[in-house]
Structure 1
Amino acid sequence: MKKTNEYQKSYLTVTPNSGHRIGHKLDDLITGFILAEWYGLNYLHSPLPDKMWEDFFGFGEGETSFYKDFRKDLPIISCTPYLGVRYISPRFRFLFKHIEYLDYRIRYILKKIPVKKISEWREPDFWEGSPFSYFKEIFERNSEREVIFCFQRGKRVMLYQIYEWGQQGKVDSDLYLRVIEKLRTKYFSQEHPKKFSYFDTSVISVAVHIRRDDASVENQRFLPISYYKKLLSNLSKILADKPHEFHVYSSGLDREMEEIQKELNPVSSQLRYHPNESAMEAIHHMAIADILVVGNSSFSHWPGFLSSGIKLYHPHFHMFNLDENEWVEVKEDSSFNESHFISLLSSSQKGIDFSDTHAKLQAQ
């Protein structure tokens, strides 16, 4: 890996993918934080389309923004899924604004072509993050140039990747934590009217996200209610002699919300429901909960990364092999390493004594 000081004169920005939900756009922005930190580049902020979300997450504060005429003397290295890596000289800077649209059109056309080999041509698996070799080649090839690197249309690197690469010695082992700390500092340093708490601080708060609305088995965003019933039942047993509350967050049709309540009510008397709650309020409360049960959705992935609490997650998409100091893997049958979970909760800010519970588990 090149030394970071070789790149210090160059810049990097990532354009949030248009036409997608806030979770996808956050995946893009965090790519900018990661790559700038990884290679010691000057970060240029490309804002989210909706300033409301910019203000909520604290993005752009104290950062230089990227705009079409920024450093017109520098070439742009444009990286997209279908057009690939393109060198745009200052003379042809005007072409840059068309890159995203052209890449979108190519993808649209390829998906319409029925011939199997053609439809699979350059079909990149970029949503879950590009491989280490992809970034290594791009940056090392341009290490002697002063340029602006720009990643667009969902070309990204994910947090799970840099955590894994750090474990493997491919990147600095603390890169993941540096990026996470930057993300958390931005979020919690920014005041916002939606950042308040209705949690009872005298009890353990457990936030639970259940994705419904567009979730389906086909798109792999659906977790059956049976998964949540068993998981909450397991948590109820562990927390039985500790004051606690479950806060359930979900959005969808009224009948879907009613079905969730009907199924979960027998599990615990400590359930609090927040159907179709304001997105910002839900995200913030998931981020500040002592425990977060993550759904198959970026809507709760991101509160999980913002949170310093304990997160329980079912591996899927780009959510696997996460930092075991904060994340607990839950299997399909809703089981998880209860001893590990208890040890994390005992050492958390609440500092709760679970010695009796731990002894019972050891005896089983």
Structure 2
Amino acid sequence: MLTSVVALVDLRKNRDSPVREAIDLIGGIDDLNNEQREAVIKVGVFGVNTPHYSTVGIVQDIVNAFNKSPKVYLAESDNYQGAALDRLQIWKELFTDRVQPYDLSRDPDTFKLRVENPIRDVVLQLSKIILKPRAFICTHVLRSYHKGSILKNLFGLPPSPKKAQYHKNEVFYNLLTQLYKTIGGIDLSILDGSRFCHHMDSLPTDLIAVGRDPVAVETVGAILASLKLSKHETIKAFTEKGYGVSDIDKIDIVGESFDEMKERCEKTLLQLKKRFSERPKPWSPTGALSKLISSGFFVSPNRRTIGDIESALIEEDPRAEGRSQIIYTNLQRRVKKGILMSEKTDDSVVFWKI
């Protein structure tokens, strides 16, 4: 028996009101969109330099779908890429008296959540704005990232910019599932596939997936992104808790043909992988020094100064210029491992290999 509904809408056919169309396909949201309930839209924006966040057009359409809500908040927290309010400026043209940016990292009205996990004490002070009775809407992009999109977006609720401290698997999956339970779930999920994001690149796929079951939406998105569900630990963690449906045979996909949208995404992913393979590899001090060592450059009686080493690396690859500090750090690591020897002189440090 089908237990969850996910709507697929082709943006090449409907760019004016795709979210509204998807909502109609899944049966409406009258219980969410009314004069008694404010709405919080958790937009997922890691950084502003790559378009790996829901477009202004899609977020505008989400806002329009909540036309009866007295207030609509676009919510985000700080991360190491920047302050929440700075990153939310992506959608500044949508801001009005009714539609406002909301900083989850500086809300004085908070509650405490202790995240149960086997390795460390994790206590969060979370903004109360994410709690019911407000409707909680989650939007993120279609991407080939094994830790998720819609469900992973909950990772942006903790206020600390130092979110790397929660990345260990023993904490990460418990954090997401406990956040979900604490806020009373995600009421509406919009996976924005305007573009398919792969690594730091993206190409248009022009679709959205929308549903009331975030696990089902995540599952559909994972399949569209050619991810293996058997290795998708985020989906597995939520399914084990009973928070949604991840069996594709029990998800009613309405609207556009799932097979056709999947084929479109597969072709786009092939293009993205090809572009990624053709990119020049970034300069690596570790690789560059390994190559220099293998060439015999450091073999005694040669004793190489920092200047000698930098000159040799720049001659091999001009991208080594201006990397003095990282080159020196990598040299010191080789010394500690016994790969190289070093000695201070009056005006430099010399390195050699016995």
Same fold by TM (over 0.5)? no
Compare CA radii of gyration and give the structure with the larger one: 2
Q: Which has the higher contact order (CA 8 A, sep 6+)?
A: 2
Instruction: Give the structure-1-normalised TM-score.
Output: 0.26
Instruction: Give the structure-2-normalised TM-score.
Output: 0.26
